Amino acid sequence: MDAITKPVGAFCQTDGSCHFCVWAPERENMTLRLLQPAEREVKMKKDAWGYFTAAVAGVAPGTLYFLNPDGEGDFPDPASFYQPQGVHGPSQVVDHTFEWTDDSWGGLPRQDLIIYELHVGTFTPEGTFEAIIPRLPELRETGINALEIMPVAQFPGGRNWGYDGVFPYAVQNTYGGPEGLKKLVNACHAHGLAVLLDVVYNHLGPEGNYLEKLGPYFTDKYKTPWGKAINYDGAYSDGVRAYISENVIYWFRHFHIDGLRLDAIHTIFDQSAITLWELINSRIAQAREELQRPFFLIAESDLNNPRVVQEAATGGLGFDMQWLDDFHHALYVLLDEKGRPLYEDFGQMEQLAKAYTDGFVHSGEYVRFRKKTFGASSSHLPGDKFVAFVQNHDQVGNRVNGERLSVLVDFERLKLAAAALLLSPYIPMLFMGEEYGEEAPFLYFVSHSDKDLIRAVREGRKKEFENFKWDAEPPDPQREQTFAYSRPDWSKRQKGKHRQLLQWHQTLIGLRKSMAALRNYNKESIQAQPLGQQGFVLSRQSMDKEQQLLCLFNLSNDKVKYSLSAAPEKYRLVLNSKDEKWVQQKEQVYQVPSEIAAGDTLYLPPVSVLMYACG
């Protein structure tokens, strides 16, 4: 007999009643305790598959409630749609009806995405969804067309990266709750921006995690770096798999989210004959058909395994894209020599060239950091299967002082980094403030209420940095000032060098959108050759081979000689990072040939990028 699964949570009905459903297979009794308008208790009915249900008349949206299993006390609903009083408070009935105005929104093709990762709590002084809306026109003007929002599932207090969420269905109360998120998504679609949401399905945070009070959501069979692993293949796992796979569709259906980025999928363990990934992909296929909109799944994976983005039906995991950490590592160590000890297996120009042509730099080689051979080749995968970046919340926030690239390298290298990313054959992602060179740090912060947990977080953070050989202690994650320091200063966008860097990003994004060669993700159309250990040449061509591009990068402080051995015709200069409008001081200006042809030799200016095109 096949297992029966049901959507869990509190569902408003058209007749004014509410249908409650909670999965608790090992519990004998379940009492629903409604707190408004007058307290009342309702005994829920259990079915053969461990689902307790109750249909209750006269329950209006906004009603607060608890669940009481076997008389052990009041607990929030594991599938709560809103926790207005935080993780320890009652759940609230939510009517998901919303006056959407995005009927004409058809989503964006994957190949067109220019992603912008942001943290809701620090992106604006208000730290809310609605406060982001006034900034959308400027992001759109920059060329951004997709927001990737760090996790918003309810977490303890009001300060957190979001990876300590404990209610996967409840939108953070201090950000504006479900209504606020819907307003932001609706506004994004009106401005032509897609919305991607970061979700965490590998663990739940420690404070306010009441799921074990209701059901066997966790297992001791596996371990994660952050706590108990979620039970995807053990006893009673049908209910857990349903709970998580339904959550994927929940964001798509009720919030019009355009895709999800799944955190650290390498710590999701499932040995089932039909895996969680097959289940999720099946559910998404049904929802896409029903809702007639695209929906993306993006993976963060530490496996360097190309199967992550292969179809689930052919043995893959079925993700549309995955983050490409190797691109960041290979580029970063060549921009910031002080950072090389952090990435001991990177540092050669040949590795950066491989990142452009293959994707994974480690594809079966012995890796010292891992003390084993690692990875498999991804050279056969098109570039739009990967999301590349120079900065993200991890790469910035997991430095001891949360330093952004803008305080680690000079202005010329910031320009070079932007070009290296935006001229790459991958889906680019910027981290909030990167487009104008924000200098404020992005630190790790929490706001727990448990003193023992606060102490454990502080000690754990120190130990983590010891492992990475930092010579300083990190700022206290619990201090409100640590959170306040992490707010970018939006006003800088229109000032001095920040405005110049912003315009540089706009120009690069404009070229990416307008030039056919930069829109071609076919690996056969991409070549990259080192220029010693000083720079590299990136060659790209359009699908029809009518347009050819030469992107010449010099990462050194000296001029680099380059000879064009062959060319179908003359190449014309399209971009020069040492042009007068892109430098801060006149002595940094370098004139380069406006055209080059086969047999010509030119000298690449120090720390520069030149782009030539023909066709």
In the annotated binding site for substrate, the residues are 261-266, 325-329, 393-398
Are 446 and 163 spatial neighbours (Cβ–Cβ below 8 Å)? no
Q: Would residue 198 show up in a list of annotated catalytic residues for this protein?
A: no
**Which residues, 6+ apart, have CB-to-CB distance to 416 below 8 Å?**
335, 553, 555, 577, 607, 608, 609
Q: How many residues does the chain have?
A: 615
Are 156 and 173 spatial neighbours (Cβ–Cβ below 8 Å)? no
**Which residues, 6+ apart, have CB-to-CB distance to 350 below 8 Å?**
530
Please give the C-alpha separations between residue 544 and each of 8, 70, 427, 525, 547, in angstroms, as whole numbers: 51, 68, 21, 10, 8
Between CA 280 and CA 247 the distance in angstroms is 10
Query: Residue ranges for the binding site?
Result: 261-266, 325-329, 393-398
Listed residue (559, 564, 560, 556) closest to 539, CA to CA? 564
- DSSP characters over 581-601: GG-SSGGG-----SEE-TT-E
Catalytic residue among 77, 258, 300, 438: 300
Catalytic residue among 258, 263, 384, 438: 263
Between CA 615 and CA 610 the distance in angstroms is 17
Cα torsion for 93, 27, 453, 128, to the nearest 10°?
-20
Please tell me what DSSP assigns to residue 75. Answer: B
Q: Would residue 263 show up in a list of annotated catalytic residues for this protein?
A: yes
Around Cβ 597, how many Cβ atoms within 10 Å?
14
Where on the phi/psi map is residue 371: left (φ > 0), alpha (ψ -120 to 50), or beta? left
Between CA 28 and CA 45 the distance in angstroms is 10
Could you give the residue numbers annotated as active site? 263, 300
